[in-house]
Structures are given as C-alpha cells and as structure tokens.
Amino acid sequence: MTSPSDKQPPKQSALRHVGMVSAILITAIGFVSQFTLAHAQEQVQSHLRFDQPMYFANVPAEYDLQSSTVYQSSSPEQSPEVPAVPTLLPSTDDASNSSTSDTETFGEEPRDFNIQFLRTASVLLKQGDWQFDYGIQYSKADYNFPITLFPSGVARADIKRRTIQSPFAVRYGLTDRIQLSAALPVGWSNAQISSVGLFDDSNSQTGIGDLQLGLNYHWKYGRVQSTPDVILSFGLTVPTGNGQFPTTGISQAALANGVWAPSAQLLFIHRYDPIVYFYGIGYRYQFERQFDGVEVQYGQQITYNLGVGFAVNDRVTLSTTFLGQYQAETEVNGLGVPGTIIEPLRLRFAVTTYRRGKIIEPSVQIGMTNDAAQAIVGITWTL
C-alpha cells in the first residue's frame, strides 16, 4: 500500500520530465557547438597555415588563434622565412627592400594630368620622355593711325593683319629637372592698309616663322598648399623667318620679326588641389638688324603673366591666363622712333583634356589694349 507521501501530484511530475529533457538538449547543443568550433579551427589552420608567421604589408606578425591577438615580431630577421606576398604598400626599411626585391606589385603609379596646361612653361617630362605639338591658329589685329593729306588735311589709315599658322613644337626631357624645346610655326600672313576714299593696298606671305629654342629648369620643388615650384626658363629666337620692317612706310605681311632675341623667365607655381595658380616675369633682348640698308633695333621687352587652372576632374582642366608685355621704343639708325612704345595685354582661356594618350587644347585669346591682337583662336594637339 502506497503512502500519500510517495505519490506526487501530476503537475510536479510533468515539470520534472521537462527539466530532464531541457538538460539533455542543452548538453547536446554544447557538444555540437564544441565539435563545430574545433572543425572550423582545423579548416582555417589548413588553409591559412597559422603555424607560420603572417606578413601584412611586409611587416611580420604572429597570430594566436585562441586569443585572436596579433603579435608583431621584434625584427624581421628573427621570423622564419616565408614567401613574399603581393602588396601595394611600400616598405621604408632597407633590409626589407633587399629581401623583397622580387615582390610583385599591382597597377601603376597614377599620373597627374591636371598640370598639363603648363607643359610648355614648366618641367613635366621625365628623363627620356618627349611630346610633340601640332595644331592650327588664326589671329586678327586691327590698327589705325592718322596720315597727312597734301596740301592740307588729316585722314585715318587702317591696318588689318590676318595670320593662319600651324605651331609645330617638340619637347624632350633631358633629365627629371631639365626640359628642352623647339618650336617652328608654318603658315600664311596678310597685311592690308587702307584709307577710305584714298587708297587700298594688300600683300601676303607664306612660309615659316622664327625658330624658338628653349630650356626649362626645375630650380626648386615646392610643397602642396605650401611653397611653390620655381621654374627658370631660357629661350633663344633664331631668325629663320622672313622678317619685314616698313622702311618704305608701307606695312608688310610677315610671320616673324627676323632678329636674334635671347630671353629668360622665372615662373612660380602653387598647387592647392584642385586649383593651380602661377605667376612669372621675364626679359627679352632683341638684337639690331639691317633692313634694306637701315639699321633697326626693336625695343627690349619685359614680360609678365598671371593665371589659374581648375581641375574639373582628373582628365579635364580649365585655365585662364593674363599675358602682359612692355616693349621699349624702337630705334632706327640709332634714333628713337616716336610712338613705337607698345604694351599689348591679353587674356587667354583654354580647356586642356587628356584622352587615350593625347592632349587636346582649344584656346581663345582676347586683346585688352589697342597694341594687342583683337582675337587669337586655335586648337593644339599634343602626342
């Protein structure tokens, strides 16, 4: 006969069974979890070989799987040798460089194309590199002056000059600091002089202009948003073209001045990504030459410029340049000619684009004074 104390209520019996089942499930889940973790560790070790040191960007380190901690070795020589792995991060240790000389690299160093709008005035070519320019340019200049009528009276005479030329040029990187250049324009020039109701005369010339030789020296390297790059340039004009001087009083068409002229310029370039601005000053001396038995020496020139370039993206740059020049009085047979002091000022706007290894640069120049050409429009391709 069973005593009342031996009998348990149905509710307590059910709870005891639920507790037993829960304990069994928890034990099973723990066992499965430990087995899964051990299997995962074996897979990781078999693929990544954590028994040898790991190298991140040429820096040896040992990884502890249990604590998930990376221990950096005190020196690379104390770590076992492992094959070099590809890395994009440069090593600054000489010993590491010597031991990883065969390291494979991916890609190439990015090039800065946004400074190419200054390719003729700066030093952008590496040693052995070269560039070749070709294109077409049209310019128009109008002048007027008073003439005396016989026996009395004054009238106005007008001169119109039109020029179409192709500016061929080549540049070569002699060293990383020195860039050589040569330019020779080829084209057509026309001069028209007229006075309403009195006369109208026109003449033209086709051929080559003066040869321009240049040397740009990267005197000082600057720092971005700090000190400027300093470029020292030397030039020489060789009178290869058929220069003309109006010894008869009639303006002649010409593609060149026809005189020897050395020059020098100092250019400063500041970089504030995406903006580059620059300014410079120069001097040009024009030697004396004889035209039709008349000794002529054009006035000496002081040049100055100021400009800015804005990088729209990594391949397109917009630029604006102010070009100034002061030319002293011209002398004929040792005597100054009144009214020959000129100061042509111009504004130049350009878009420089780089695509498939070629630079394309359309440009427009606008004259700001009566001594400057009213308009110069052109496009240049650079290979």
pLDDT, tens only, 301-339: 999 999 999 999 989 999 999 999 999 999 999 899 888
Q: What is the mean pLDDT of the chain?
A: 79
Question: Where exactly are the structural domains of the chain?
Answer: 13-48, 54-99, 116-382
Phi/psi for 29 (5° steps) reads -60, -40
pLDDT value, residue 158: 85
Angle, vertex CA 376, rays to CA 370 and CA 381, nearest 5: 155
pLDDT value, residue 31: 52
Within 10 A of 351 (CB to CB), how many other CB atoms are there? 16
Most confident of 107-111, 136-140, 246-250: 136-140
- Rounded CA separation 186/308 (Å): 30
Looking at per-residue pLDDT, the higher value among 359 and 149 belongs to 359
- The tokens for 92 are 């600054």
Within 10 A of 69 (CB to CB), how many other CB atoms are there? 10
Q: The whole model's pTM is what? A: 0.68
What integer is the mean pLDDT of 265-292?
A: 94
pLDDT, tens only, 148-160: 777 777 878 888 9
- The tokens for 123 are 């030093």
Q: Which of 120-124, 199-203, 265-269 is the least confident region?
A: 199-203
Q: Which of 64-68, 114-118, 277-281 is the least confident region?
A: 64-68
- Is pLDDT at 93 greater than 50 in this prediction? no
Edge-to-edge strands of the sheet including 54-56?
54-56, 59-64, 69-72
> Which stretch of DSSP H or E encloses residue 62?
strand 59-64
Q: Work out the pLDDT band at 51, boundaries 50, 70, 90.
A: very low
pLDDT, tens only, 16-28: 554 565 555 556 5
Helix, strand, or coil (residue 312)? coil
Q: Which of 34-38, 176-180, 193-197 is the least confident region?
A: 34-38
What integer is the mean pLDDT of 81-88?
A: 46
CATH of the domain spanning 116-382: 2.40.128.130
b/e burial code for range 128-137 (CB count within 10 A of at least 16 → b): eeebebebeb
